[in-house]
Structure 1
Amino acid sequence: MKRIDFLDGFRGIAILLVILYHGYYIWFDHLPFGKKYADVLLFKYGNLGVQLFFLISGFVILMSLEKTNNYFKFLKNRWIRLFPSMFIVSFIIFFTASFFHERPLGIPPLKSLVPGLVFINSSILEAFTRIDFPILETSFWTIYLEVKFYIVFGLLFYVFGKYKAVLFNFLIYILALVLTFISAQYQIKLNPILGGLIDTFIQFGWFSAGAVMYLYFVEKNKKYLYYFVIMAVMSMLSVYDKATLGMVVYMVVLASLFGLTFLLPNLQKIIASKFLVFIGFISYPLYLIHENMLISLIIKINKNFPFIPDIALPIIATLFLVLISYIIAKVIEPPIQKFLKKRLNFK
């Protein structure tokens, strides 16, 4: 499948926003500079880069489905795309944890590898097995959510066709939103499995918004632009209980940037810059590996080189992670994917 450069650029933007959030804001109890940058909006709401990832996935997955002739082949394709980096990164994290011992989540036990390798949340595994599965990386939650989206949306696509699949996927989000509101309003305690599913489906609106932009990209029908605006705005309601003005503005800017890029060729060229495309190319392993290792590296660099300005610490640490991620994406991952395709009888 031919890559669309500006989508890789958006992946680059998304992962950089998430890294800014983790490197400067959320782990302030561990960071040597504490809350020094807590009021910088770019850092404070950088976690919304995840929603940008979801928009991209909605676009890419619908495109992938149209180029795949059956459901199980689609799922195998997605597994081959996700598993190698998850496998590599999980073991890198596990075997280097004693060196990066400053990591916020501490030294992980062996069984913490299981959720990532099977792409199922710890909470769901624990509900079914009654075994405790500690979290290896908190960032993995989005990958588990993506997998659920692949399963649900893929099934909808092959049963109902692409247009109804997008609509039904969005209606699943609306249902999750309504159930979330009712449970909060009436203080209804949900069982872990149902609660986990609702927490997943509450993000499906973003995927649908990304999917309608794919329909616009292919068909050039302006009605999809209106659908995108409606779906993106309604998807913002998923954070109704914790939204601030800054958060809303941040989401509006990201969604608008995503939508406008399909209309403005000059903006496409900017988003498709070599730097952003490069970061987008390595974004998956970088996303998987960055969080705890980033914080540990920041602490180590600060301890050994105290003269380095605070603002530069996450940047220097990220450069190391970029190098590791590039090696994974360029050198290690492709032969594993090729081997898996051959073993699974792919053409």
Structure 2
Amino acid sequence: MIKRRLKELDLLRFLAAIAVVFFHYAFRGYAKGDMSTMPYPLLAEPAKYGYLGVELFFMISGFVILMTASGNSLRVFFISRVVRLCPAFWVCCTITYLVTLAIGQPRYTATLYQYLINMTFLSNLTDVPAIDGVYWSLFVEIQFYLMISILLGFRKIEKIETYLVFWLIISATAEILGFEQLRSILITDYAAYFIAGATFYIIWAKGVTKTRTFLLLGALALACYTAIVWAELLETKYSTDYNPLIVCGMIVLFFMTFSLIATNKTGTIGLVNWTALGALTYPLYLLHQMIGFMIFNVAYPAVNPHILLWGTIALMVGGSYMVHKKIEAPMASFLKKFLSLSFARVRS
């Protein structure tokens, strides 16, 4: 059976990105008092849960990355990930750096050395501050890519279910017992979401089994556990309260949504072409935070906060679409051809 393109994943990507945007603009920026001078109390309470959009991103990644890896070589997988990650990141990192130089001071600064290190994706390994705080999630993604790459390199990707079971059990053990080194290596804070997404892909491709059901139930339990622990830390960080029922309820909603996708119950939504929304999601995620905060700090309180918030969101969405259409897509096409030819020459 030929599987259709899952356009509903593009819609999910956009919803996850918008949730993060509202988290930053309506809550995070002002809540801790060190990012933005503009409060937005009208949406602050619901927006404070928007950070869970990142967890949804990781579930989507688990699904899509396994889809990309299945039936492909390490070379093809490597090229696909470089083409997906690098062009948009290089463009958005450059834009954020230039905007910081132009209007960031005195609250925000960036050096040329910091920018160059960021462009190599090595800031997390060299203790150089990120140009934008949202980059942390890219390093989590890259760790997941490395895990998949190892399986591809040893030609074990067809055994992925077995490795997912081990990953889940070891992650849960490391989380509960506090094995810090294992927690770091296995990204146990977010492992449940990658495991769930990958399992949903397997169900979509091959159907439901007892093992896959166990994986999903275990991943859901681990996801709720780690989410509650994280929410407790955020309560201290932001001096607010998080309802664990709402946190877990949102995670259950993520799982229910993917259950519908994996069992082909979302065909009506998938008939709508959400591709354009999905395409601008990555630039939107990379661009919105620091640039938005700098705009708020320059324009508030002179500009009405409602106009400022919604105008900045519109600017970020429109700008992200232009970045994708005019810069990222052509650059990605060139990079894909370049890498494919380079690998072909090496093999010959």
Give the TM-score normalised by structure 1.
0.82
Residues 39, 245 of structure 1: CA spacing in aligned structure 2 closer, same or farther, 3 A cutoff? farther
2:96, 2:287 within 8 Å by CA — same for their partners in 1? yes
Residues 21, 203 of structure 1: CA spacing in aligned structure 2 closer, same or farther, 3 A cutoff? same
2:292, 2:312 within 8 Å by CA — same for their partners in 1? yes
* C-alpha distance in 1 between matches for 2:60 and 2:308: 29
- Alpha-carbon deviations, 1:120-170, whole Å to 9, x = none? 452x224xxxxxx12211110111111110111231245363453244245
Residues 327, 241 of structure 1: CA spacing in aligned structure 2 closer, same or farther, 3 A cutoff? same
User: For 1:1-347, what aligned pairs fall within 5 Å after superposition?
Assistant: 3-28=5-30, 29=33, 30-34=35-39, 36-37=41-42, 40-41=45-46, 43-68=47-72, 70-101=73-104, 106-122=108-124, 124-126=125-127, 133-159=128-154, 161-162=156-157, 164-183=159-178, 194=181, 197-198=184-185, 200-221=187-208, 223=210, 224=212, 227-243=215-231, 244-263=244-263, 265=265, 267-270=266-269, 273=272, 277-306=275-304, 310-346=305-341
1:75, 1:151 within 8 Å by CA — same for their partners in 2? no
Aligned length: 324
Distance apart, 1:119 and its partner CA: 2.5
SS in 2 for 1:247: helix
2:196, 2:219 within 8 Å by CA — same for their partners in 1? yes
Residues 2, 282 of structure 1: CA spacing in aligned structure 2 closer, same or farther, 3 A cutoff? farther
SS in 1 for 2:160: helix
* C-alpha distance in 2 between matches for 1:83 and 1:108: 20
SS in 2 for 1:214: helix
The aligned counterpart of 1:129 is: none
In structure 1, the gaps of 5 or more residues are 127-132, 185-189
SS in 1 for 2:340: coil
* C-alpha distance in 1 between matches for 2:113 and 2:271: 40
- Alpha-carbon deviations, 1:50-79, whole Å to 9, x = none? 1111111111111111242x2133112201
Residues 170, 21 of structure 1: CA spacing in aligned structure 2 closer, same or farther, 3 A cutoff? farther
* C-alpha distance in 2 between matches for 1:8 and 1:225: 25
**Percent identity of the aligned residues?**
23
Give the TM-score normalised by structure 2.
0.81
2:168, 2:219 within 8 Å by CA — same for their partners in 1? no
- Alpha-carbon deviations, 1:181-201, whole Å to 9, x = none? 4348xxxxx6xxx48824834
**CA-atom RMSD in angstroms:** 2.9
2:21, 2:288 within 8 Å by CA — same for their partners in 1? yes
Moved more, 9-18 or 21-30: 21-30
Amino acid paired to 1:203: Y
